[in-house]
Amino acid sequence: MATLLRRPRSAIILVVAAVVVTAALYGIIQNQYQLKNLLSYSTRPLWDKNAGPSEIIPHFYGEGLPVDEHTCKLHGWTIRRKLENVKVLDAVLMSNELDLLEIRMNELDNVVDYFLIVESNGTFTGLPKETFFANNQDRFAKFQHKIVYSFLPGYALHPGQSPWSVEAHTRNTMTVLIQKHIAGFPPGTESMVVMSDLDEIPARHTVNLLKHCDFGTALHLQLRDFLYSFEWYIGLTSWRASVQMWDQGQSYYRHSKSSELALADSGWHCSYCFRTIPEYIIKMKGFSHADRIAGRVNLLDPKRIQDTICRGKDIFGMLPEAYSYVDLLSQMSLRPLKSAVGLPRYLIEKSEFFRFLLPGGCLSRKTYASQVKLRDYTLHFVKSFEVSPPSAIHNTPQRYRAQLAQYRHCV
């Protein structure tokens, strides 16, 4: 009798165990990206280190301070003797950051000779997108005489193709644009190229300092890192922006380390700093790290995005990329800033227009969040690409129709 009772119990235990194991495996499969992120990012301080420049040069600046021989010497440099031979080019890849581009151009207008822009009607992940700059040129009319623009046709990714290869191709396009433009300069011209993502904005006084002082051939810019707006300050962690004296035979447009030197506190990096919720969706689905969504369509919900922005949390629900546990813990619980001192002047001058970027302005996006439906926005997003001229598409209509259908289905 006891044996007969034990058999059903054993069977029940086996069934329960099978259910638990199956549920666990399903959970792992469904959340493998999140689990991988948790394991990788939580242990990063143990096995990884910051790949940025090893030496930070102290930065000396005061309002009204002239850039002369004394100022250059403070930084360990000498003053340029033929300043009239120096041309400054600011080169950026355009996605959809119209507001930051307006702030950037106004910040740098007095110290930059040319603004070089490469824009595509496709994202790095092969999704269609609007040509935001081309469609809003009136907004930048006062800079028109300085703008050098190049359109790069977009295309859906080939099977197995990585978004990183599209990004590399886009950067190569900028390299060619720089080369062609510099080739038209008079002999003896020294070309100083600012290389940074559009949301990495060097301070005007920084570029002016480097224009006047001989800093060498390449120098990175350490920037104040912000998230979503200038309310959520991360720290002086951004270093990929750089300034290079262009060599036609050797230089190329890059976002990787080119020097072991960086100039401290040289500007601002405002990551994911957008006016509307749809712009966040474009960014999340369109850049090279779009795999972070990992099938979690709920991440694209406008109300969730709005709430995430207002709390200063990671938009993908990931741990911060930190190289010490002190930084990891501090970045997991950012505190909102109350100060707007030391920000781009144009941002403060136009504070009503850029309210969403300033401390306390988070809820200025809320109207958009309540009005936007993800599916409606997606269809608008797709249509903006479908009206592009056929000559702008580098692959078959069938591939694009499949890509667009897949995009509609995912939302």
Q: Distance between alpha carbon 219 and the CA centroid of its chain, in Å?
A: 20
Q: What is the pLDDT at residue 295?
A: 65
Given the candidates 2.60.120, 1.20.1550, 2.60.40, 3.90.550, the CATH classification of the domain at 55-271 is: 3.90.550
Tell me the pLDDT band of 302, cut-offs 50, 70 and 90.
very high
pLDDT, average across residues 343-369: 87
Contact 11, 19 (CB under 8 A): no
Contact 135, 101 (CB under 8 A): no
Tell me the pLDDT band of 385, cut-offs 50, 70 and 90.
very low
Q: What is the pLDDT at residue 18?
A: 59
Q: What is the pLDDT at residue 146?
A: 99
Residue among 116, 60, 358 at smallest CA distance from 232: 358
- Mean pLDDT for the chain? 85
Domain ranges in the chain?
A: 55-271, 277-410
pLDDT, average across residues 240-247: 98
Tell me the pLDDT band of 39, cut-offs 50, 70 and 90.
confident
pLDDT, average across residues 210-222: 99
Contact 339, 362 (CB under 8 A): no
Q: How many residues does the chain have?
A: 411
3-state secondary structure of 192: strand
Residue among 137, 170, 168, 134 at smallest CA distance from 154: 170
Contact 140, 102 (CB under 8 A): yes
Give the tens place of pLDDT for each residue, 115-150: 999 999 999 989 899 999 999 999 999 999 999 999
Rounded Cα distance, 342 and 345, in Å: 8
In one-letter notation, the amino acid at residue 115 is: F
Q: What is the pLDDT at residue 364?
A: 76
Higher-confidence position of 18 and 199? 199
Q: What percent of the chain has pLDDT over 70?
A: 78
Give the tens place of pLDDT for each residue, 370-381: 444 444 444 444
Backbone angles phi, psi at 127, to 5 degrees: -85, 150
Q: Kindly tell me if the per-residue pLDDT of 7 is higher than 60.
A: no
Q: What is the pLDDT at residue 35?
A: 73
**Which helix (DSSP H) or strand (DSSP E) does residue 103 occupy?**
helix 98-108
Tell me the pLDDT band of 349, cut-offs 50, 70 and 90.
very high
